[in-house]
Amino acid sequence: LKGQRLVPGLSLICPRSDISDLKTTLFSELQFSAAHLHRNVSGIKMDPEGSCAEDDPHIKLMMKGSTLRKVKSRFWKKQRHFRLLEDGMTIWYKSGWTGQGHSKFSVSDLEAVREGHQSEVLLSIAEEFPAELCFTLVFHGRQGNLDLVAESQDEAQAWIQGVRKLIHKTQTMDEQERQDQWVRDWFQKADKNKDGKMNFKEVKKLLKMMNVDMNEDHALRLFTMADKSESGFLEIEQFVHFYKILTQRDEVWKVFQDYSGDGETLTLEELESFLRLEQQEAEQSSHHATELIHRYEPSESAMKQSAMTLDGFQMYLCSLDGSIFKPELLELHQDMNQPLSHYFISSSHNTYLLEDQLRGQSSLEAYIQALKRGCRCVEVDCWDGSDGEPVVYHGHTLTSKILFRDVISTLRDYAFKVSEFPVIVSLENHCCLEQQNVMASHLRQILGDMLLSAPLDGQIPERLPSPQQLRGKILLKAKKIGGLETCVDETLTDEVSEEEEVADGDPESPNTEGPQEEKKKKKSKLSRELSDLVIYCKSVHFHSFEQARSSAKCYEMSSFSESKAKKLSKEA
């Protein structure tokens, strides 16, 4: 089927093996479409006691509107009028002195609200505006966040708590509500003149944006049917109706008809038969079928009869319950008691960059997003700061700088939001001894017990501990003076060779692979305080497989560029 997209991120798993032999449906397209035009489109269900009720003080204030400062930098702080529109899902704002231009976005575009100075921009104005007035609206994907400052603490809390309630509401929508809201969001984005309606030409353009391939004559017939007022335009709810009938899946209707005795619903026994024969779900099929009806059936009357309509059947197929992927495998099921080196992990390179590596922005948000995606190894490139505080950026480029201590604070706050397993901080150290000591102090003070600063049992390991043993711990990967055996030996020099510096540097940088660079034996100073924090991830230069097999320690590790890794793979 060409481009008939149902819900973003969900795949329709068609359980029939003979799908190529499907015949025409029992009803004509127009009969089928007309029947669905009379069905109600579900929107957000406002629970009388739910967080979106009209008497909620936070939502009420948001609908009334507030003047908030939109902040882009220390020097760009402008007042905007914000308010929640009557649909309870759209936040609208405009400047106070320009009567025409305005912007708006859907609550479903938001991922979270962060309270206080939790962005570089808000940290930069911390002396001017206290934390209790500040908050950040975090958007899904690559869309930039929105930093705001309220006039009072009560007003800030109203927006923070109100938006959180609305986000929670979107996250707890059922499948039908989620699909309908997705369609509404597309309508809002495509409504360029903001008049809340579209003619057929505009609708065709929107459907192309939504990746829906269609027969234009058929689409026009359905458009005319959906246009009950015969105005030549569809308003937002009419468009939701139109989209639903246009994207009905014939193969779903065919499978439904194969198992439905009356062509209108699946009884409990018929749904059980489908689950057993098509989905190969034989165990507890009766109980499971009942659960699916209660979970996905939008019709109250059908639910009372323990039956499922076509709409409920389609929502089930598009859900995780209908996915070909085994639900139990979504949870942790692997053995996490093997040595750390036995696992593949999600790692990040130049984590601090949001954009390109030459002039891009360094940002705490980049670390937050990486950790929230489950990344377990992040990179921190440290350089001397002008005021004695180490900074993080891509050295010798025009990328912006962020403070090392702010990066470490961010790691503390977000390292274990998604996963309890250890996070490795890959430290690329270019700092002088004094600022290395500052880095060591920040690591100890900010991370506290999260930081692994000694072997788990006080013994020199013969193999690495497991992820299970290292839960909730942050490990430092960097150069180290000597090894774990001699980490407290005061007679050791505080110098390390440039060979180790090469291994610890950026493997994609041109100067890390040149033969002349690798031959240099220059020494660089390393802070003992920082060195002592490196326990199970000591960065070393890789000499050869023979040397590694004969004398390498379990806690030593090397970094490779892609080209070097390909070359070594042929030797292994």
Active site residues: 349, 394
Rounded distance, CA 402 to CA 120, Å? 8
**501 to each of 34, 389, 526, how far by Cα in Å?**
71, 22, 11
**Rg of the chain in Å (alpha carbons):** 29
SS3 label, residue 265 = strand
Classify strands 377-383 and 423-429 as parallel, antiparallel or unpaired.
Answer: parallel
State how far Cα 101 lies from the chain centre.
31
**385 to each of 439, 484, 493, 545, how far by Cα in Å?**
11, 30, 26, 39
- Say which residues have a Cβ less than 8 Å from residue 376's Cβ, sequence separation at least 6: 345, 346, 347, 419, 421, 422, 423, 424
Structural contact between residues 405 and 380, judged by C-beta atoms closer than 8 angstroms: no
- DSSP strands (E only) in 85-173: 90-95, 103-106, 110-115, 134-139, 146-149
**In what helix (H) or strand (E) does residue 501 lie, and over which residues does it extend?**
helix 498-504
Structural contact between residues 267 and 261, judged by C-beta atoms closer than 8 angstroms: yes
Rounded distance, CA 212 to CA 190, Å? 15
Q: What is the distance in angstroms between the CA of the first residue and the CA of the last residue of the chain?
A: 47
DSSP 48-84: TTSTT-TT-HHHHHHHH-EEEEEESSSS-EEEEEEEE
Rounded distance, CA 402 to CA 385, Å? 10
Torsions phi, psi for 511 (to 5 deg): -85, 5
Structural contact between residues 301 and 308, judged by C-beta atoms closer than 8 angstroms: no
State how far Cα 401 lies from the chain centre.
24
